[in-house]
Amino acid sequence: MCPERIAVTVDEVIEVRELTKRYGATVAVDRLSFTVEPGHVTGFLGPNGAGKSTTMRMILGLDRPTDGEALVNGRRYATSKQPMSEVGALLDAGAVHGGRTAVNHLRCLARSNGFGDARVTAVLDKVGLREVARRRVGGFSLGMRQRLGIAAALLGDPGVVLFDEPVNGLDPEGIRWIRDLMRALAHEGRTVLVSSHLMSEMALTADRVLVVGRGRLIADTSIAELAEQYRRDVLVRTGADAELAGVLRSEGARVDEVPEGGLSVTGMRARRISELASAAGILLHELTPRSASLEDAYLDITDDAVEYRAQGGVR
Ligand SMILES: Nc1ncnc2c1ncn2[C@@H]1O[C@H](COP(=O)(O)OP(=O)(O)OP(=O)(O)O)[C@@H](O)[C@H]1O
* End-to-end CA, the chain: 60
Pocket test for ligand 1, best of 19, 26, 45 (most atoms within 8 A of CB): 26
User: Are the C-beta atoms of 210 and 220 separated by less than 8 Å?
Assistant: yes
Domain ranges for the chain: 14-222, 231-291
Sheet (strand 26-36) strand order: 26-36, 14-23, 67-72
Residue type at 146 in one-letter notation: Q
Q: H/E element holding 65? A: none
From the CA of 46, give the closest atom in ligand 1: 21
Beta bridge partners of 155: none
Predicted confidence at residue 80, as pLDDT, reads 87
Of 21, 54, 194, 197, which is best to mutate to test ligand 1, by the most ligand atoms within 8 angstroms of its C-beta? Answer: 54
Distance CA 249, CA 245 (A): 6
pLDDT at 291: 73
pLDDT of residue 208: 94
Centre of ligand 1 to C-alpha 212, Å, is 13
Is the distance from the beta carbon of residue 245 to the nearest atom of ligand 1 less than 6 Å? no
Ligand 1 atom nearest to 53, measured from its CA: 22
Q: Which of 20, 22, 23 to mutate to test the pocket of ligand 1 (most atoms within 8 A of CB)?
A: 23
Q: Tell me, what's the pLDDT at 4?
A: 45
pLDDT at 21: 97
* pLDDT for res 306: 60
Residue 69 Cα distances to 42, 175, 208, 304, angstroms: 19, 32, 22, 26
51-97 pLDDT, tens digit each: 999 999 999 999 999 999 999 999 999 888 888 999 999 987 666 67
Q: Is 231-291 the same fold as 14-222? A: no
Q: State how far the alpha carbon of 179 is from the alpha carbons of 110, 172, 175, 258, in Å.
A: 26, 11, 6, 39
| 205 Cβ neighbours under 8 A, 6+ residues apart | 41, 43, 179, 182, 183, 194
Pairing of strands 26-36, 14-23: antiparallel
Interval between CA 169 and ligand 1 midpoint (Å) = 19
What pTM was estimated for this model as a whole? 0.79
The listed CATH number (3.30.70, 3.30.310, 1.10.10, 2.30.30) that belongs to domain 231-291: 3.30.70
Does the beta carbon of 147 sit less than 6 angstroms from any atom of ligand 1? no
Q: E strands along 103-207, which residues? A: 160-164, 191-196
- Contact predicate 217/29, CB 8 Å: no
Ligand 1 atom nearest to 215, measured from its CA: 14
Are 163 and 194 contacting, i.e. CB atoms less than 8 angstroms apart?
yes
The C-alpha angle 110, 111, 113, rounded to 5 degrees, equals 70
Ligand 1: centre distance to CA 25 (Å): 13
Question: What is the amino acid identity at position 95?
Answer: A
Give the model's pLDDT for residue 94: 61
CA atoms within 13 A on the CB side of 278: 7
pLDDT of residue 197: 87
**How far apart are the C-alpha atoms of 69 and 174, rounded to whole Å?**
34
Q: Which residues of the chain have pLDDT under 70?
A: 1-12, 93-96, 231, 292, 304-315
Nearest CA to ligand 1 atom 31: 49
80 backbone dihedrals φ, ψ, rounded to 5°: -65, 135
Q: Which helix (H) or strand (E) holds 296?
A: helix 294-301
Q: Which CATH class is domain 14-222?
A: alpha beta
Q: How far apart are the CA of 268 and the centre of ligand 1, in A? A: 42
53 ligand 1 Cβ < 6 A: yes
In what helix (H) or strand (E) does residue 103 lie, and over which residues does it extend? helix 102-112
